[in-house]
């Protein structure tokens, strides 16, 4: 019985590991932050994530990229550090922002509850693009902002829906340059994407390259699970035979 329970425990760990592998198997960075075509050809799973978010929430791919570039520069583990005070040691952070999207704890929790996605992570590119799409969709509904307007979308993204309504961004001069950056790179990425093949038949290549890797990884874990299940079955058979032989000898 202990061996069976151990086998079931291992299966649970493997299931968790599969979920972790799928997330950790994502592309984590890019060498081509200035070129959307090269970036997405280098990381085809990023394209799939961006396209899925665009289809679901309607924020164009180029605007998603412009916002991610401004927020995290495409770094999955980005966190805003602040200078330590004299009595402080180690890393200290100026806010709870984290990951590609730099989503704050409270906003991220709201997103998780709204989408019922408890296992989502801010360090996952797929989850980050879905978050940005979700947030911009709310900005459209709450503040009547067009999903083709990177400037206003980013202001609402930075200030929050209530802050945008109150125009708190007008008192923050640093946001002027940040917003210009988002608009500039959104338009630049849009122009680049219009000149490269990342749609139509190319989708087949992207999907095959991404899902083949996931399938191979999943198959490996299935074989591991099968091995433990086989051990558990053999153990149960031995137990049954032992019980039967005991009953037989008793009579």
pLDDT of the residue at 200 = 46
Quote the CA–CA distance of 240 and 53 in Å, as a whole number: 53
Report domain extents, the chain. 1-30+200-251, 31-36+57-199
Count of alpha carbons within 13 angstroms of residue 231, beta-carbon side: 16
C-beta of residue 129 within 8 angstroms of C-beta of residue 48: no
Angle at the Cα of 219 from the Cα atoms of 217 and 222, rounded to 5 degrees: 115
pLDDT of the residue at 4 = 55
**pLDDT tens per residue, range 91-142:** 444 578 889 999 999 999 999 999 987 789 999 999 999 999 999 999 999 9
pLDDT of the residue at 172 = 92
C-beta of residue 47 within 8 angstroms of C-beta of residue 40: yes
pLDDT of the residue at 178 = 96
- Shortest CA distance to 52 belongs to which of 132, 140, 138, 107? 132
Task: Give yes or no for residue 230 having a pLDDT over 50.
Answer: yes
Most confident of 1-5, 150-154, 233-237: 150-154
The band of 25, judged by pLDDT with boundaries at 50, 70 and 90, is low
Quote the CA–CA distance of 128 and 126 in Å, as a whole number: 5
Three-class SS state of 81 = strand
- Shortest CA distance to 72 belongs to which of 44, 23, 33? 33
Task: Specify the CATH class of 31-36+57-199 in words.
Answer: mainly alpha
pLDDT of the residue at 206 = 58
**pLDDT tens per residue, range 1-14:** 555 555 556 555 55
Token pair 């100026």: residue:
94
Residue 180 is inside which H or E element, if any? helix 174-193
In Å, how far are 14, 35, 69, 111, 136 from 100, measured between CA atoms? 27, 17, 8, 15, 15
C-beta of residue 43 within 8 angstroms of C-beta of residue 27: yes
The DSSP string of 131-164 is HHHHHHHHHHHHH---TT-HHHHHHHHHHHHHHH
pLDDT of the residue at 13 = 54
pLDDT of the residue at 218 = 65
């Amino acid at each position: 019985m202990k061996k069976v329970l151990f086998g079931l425990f291992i299966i649970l760990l493997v299931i968790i590991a599969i979920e972790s592998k799928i997330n950790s198997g994502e592309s984590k960075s890019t060498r081509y932050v200035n070129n959307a075509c090269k970036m997405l050809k280098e990381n085809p799973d990023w394209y799939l994530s961006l396209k899925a978010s665009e289809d679901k929430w309607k924020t164009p791919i180029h605007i998603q990229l412009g916002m991610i570039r401004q927020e995290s520069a495409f770094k999955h583990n980005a966190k805003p550090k602040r200078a330590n005070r004299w009595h402080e040691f180690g890393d200290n952070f100026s806010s709870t922002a984290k990951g590609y999207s730099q989503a704050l704890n409270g906003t991220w929790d709201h997103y998780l509850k709204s989408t019922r996605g408890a296992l989502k992570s801010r360090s996952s590119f797929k989850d980050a693009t879905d978050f940005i799409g979700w947030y911009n969709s709310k900005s459209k509904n709450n503040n009547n902002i067009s999903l083709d307007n990177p400037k206003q979308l980013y202001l609402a993204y930075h200030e929050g829906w209530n802050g945008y309504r109150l125009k708190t961004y007008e008192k923050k001069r640093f946001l002027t340059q940040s917003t210009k950056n988002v608009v500039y790179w959104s338009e630049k990425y849009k122009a680049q994407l219009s000149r490269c093949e990342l749609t139509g038949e190319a989708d087949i290549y992207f999907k095959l390259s991404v899902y083949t890797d996931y399938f191979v990884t999943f198959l490996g874990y299935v074989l591991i699970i099968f091995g433990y299940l086989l051990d558990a079955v053999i153990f149960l058979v031995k137990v049954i035979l032992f019980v039967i032989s005991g009953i037989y000898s008793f009579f």
